[in-house]
Amino acid sequence: MVKILKKHGLFLGIVVVPMIVAIAYFVSLSMDRYVSRSTVVVRSLGGQGGSAAAAQQMQGLSMLLGAGNASSLEETLYVSTYVSSQDMLNILQSKLRWSEQYAGNWHDFWFYLPEDATQEDILKFYQRMVTTTFDETNGLLTIQVQSFDKEFAKRTLDTIVAESDRFVNELSHKLARDQVDFAQGELERARHNYEEKRTAMLDFQAVHNLLDAEQSAAARNEVIATLQSNLVTAHASLRAMKETLNKNSPQVQQQERTIRALENQIAVEEKKLVAASSSSQLNVIASKYRALEVDAGIAEASYKSTVNSLESARIEATKKMRSLSVIVSANEPDEALYPRRGYSLATTLIILLLIYGIARFAIATVRDHQD
């Protein structure tokens, strides 16, 4: 026995003993772990028309053809992160008391979770039992849940998929709401500014008893032109009278009074229209009114632009709406997938033999150098 140990001690220590331990673990200690899987993808809801059945058929066809462009790869990665997060674990703890299904399982020490485990330890254990695999070619996300109970594996996965769907809806709705709310805020500011400018223009019209200052100024010019035309006619009549009548005659004096009245009226009208500094003059009023009208026009154009922007924002928000589509539903397994005892033992044996071979080679090399 001693000779055998001396001769084969290295082989026994590196290969035989570890294999006995591995066999004892996989045969007697390791617990069956059931696996439930589901495949999901985040897809855009925007721009879909037609009946629901037709949309579903087109969606299924695009998935079969691997049309990754129709899916939102970025949001699918968000889902992958969310599934592995503390937030998802907290939901499972609240709804399923998740850690209690695994805690205190001393029988399988490799998957042992203490009953008083910290939150960080529970999260690490959770990330071992719940894993995700993302396929970049088509945007599909596969979620896998391991459990010692096959029914609990499916319940856990169903909850994860439902919460992931809620997460995607909330995320896309929030992004859409933020975009539309911003556009609505800009619209309200533009509307308020337009109302202020329009009110200022209307108040100016009311104060100066005008409908349109420029039209009033044009009307004033027409009055002056008419008076000047009458004045020219009056002067012509006066010259004709003086040729036939005495300058002191009543007709001549009356015509001169008419001319003076016309000249005075023209002066009054011109003073109202073009005097230099009075704020009540029509040229000044027309200039101020024109400035107010321009401001109101700019505000109106800005308001119309923000109305169009709001409609565009609503369309863009619709395009950004996302939904979690379940490609493969969660299954309730009939047989335990893990541990793969035969595969694991064979792999362990190969690794131990490799280690043994390396050790023998190292020992032989040392002995050659010593000799």
What secondary structure letter does DSSP report for 328?
E
Whether residue 55 has pLDDT greater than 60:
no
Name the residue ranges covered by the structural domains of the chain. Answer: 31-179+319-362, 204-316
Which of 174, 171, 179, 173 is closest to 79 using CA atoms?
A: 171
Does 31-179+319-362 carry CATH code 3.30.70.20? no
What pLDDT is recorded for position 230? Answer: 81
Where on the phi/psi map is residue 16: left (φ > 0), alpha (ψ -120 to 50), or beta? Answer: alpha
Q: Could you report the per-residue pLDDT of 230-280, keeping only the tens digit for each?
A: 878 888 887 877 777 777 788 878 878 888 888 888 777 777 665 444 445
288 compared with 114, residue with greater pLDDT: 114
What pLDDT is recorded for position 65? Answer: 38
What pLDDT is recorded for position 124? Answer: 94
What pLDDT is recorded for position 203? Answer: 80
204, amino acid identity: F
What pLDDT is recorded for position 46? Answer: 58
Exposure string over 144-172, b if 16+ CB within 10 A, otherwise e: bbbbbebebbbbbbbbbbebbbebbeebb
- Give the range among 193-197, 248-252, 317-321 with minimum mean pLDDT: 317-321
CB 106 within 8 A of CB 30: no
84 compared with 207, residue with greater pLDDT: 84
Euclidean distance between CA atoms 126 and 329, whole angstroms: 21
The encoded tokens of residue 183 equal 């556009």
Assign 202 to helix, strand or coil. helix
Instruction: Provide CB contacts within 8 A for 48, sequence distance 6+.
Output: 55
What pLDDT is recorded for position 57? Answer: 44
Distance of CA 137 to the CA centre of its chain: 24
Which of 17, 22, 21, 14 is closest to 358 using CA atoms?
A: 14
Whether residue 339 has pLDDT greater than 80:
no
Q: What is the mean pLDDT of the chain?
A: 78
**H or E element: which one contains 130?**
strand 130-135
Distance of CA 321 to the CA centre of its chain: 9
Whether residue 25 has pLDDT greater than 60:
yes
Q: Could you report the per-residue pLDDT of 148-175, keeping only the tens digit for each?
A: 889 999 999 999 999 999 998 888 777 7
Euclidean distance between CA atoms 168 and 171, whole angstroms: 5
CB 288 within 8 A of CB 204: yes
The encoded tokens of residue 133 equal 């695999």
Mean per-residue pLDDT for 292-320? 75
Q: Could you report the per-residue pLDDT of 60-113, keeping only the tens digit for each?
A: 444 443 444 445 788 889 999 999 999 999 999 999 999 988 887 777 777 888
35 compared with 211, residue with greater pLDDT: 35
Which of 171, 176, 298 is closest to 184 using CA atoms?
A: 176
Which of 30, 26, 114, 39 is closest to 71 using CA atoms?
A: 39
CB 102 within 8 A of CB 111: yes
Whether residue 294 has pLDDT greater than 60:
yes
Whether residue 206 has pLDDT greater than 80:
no
What pLDDT is recorded for position 134? Answer: 94
CB 159 within 8 A of CB 147: no
In percent, the amount of the chain with pLDDT more than 90 equals: 22
Euclidean distance between CA atoms 353 and 370, whole angstroms: 26
Indicate the burial class of 296 (C-beta count within 10 angstroms; 0-12, 13-18, 19 or more). Answer: buried
Whether residue 216 has pLDDT greater than 70:
no
pTM: 0.58
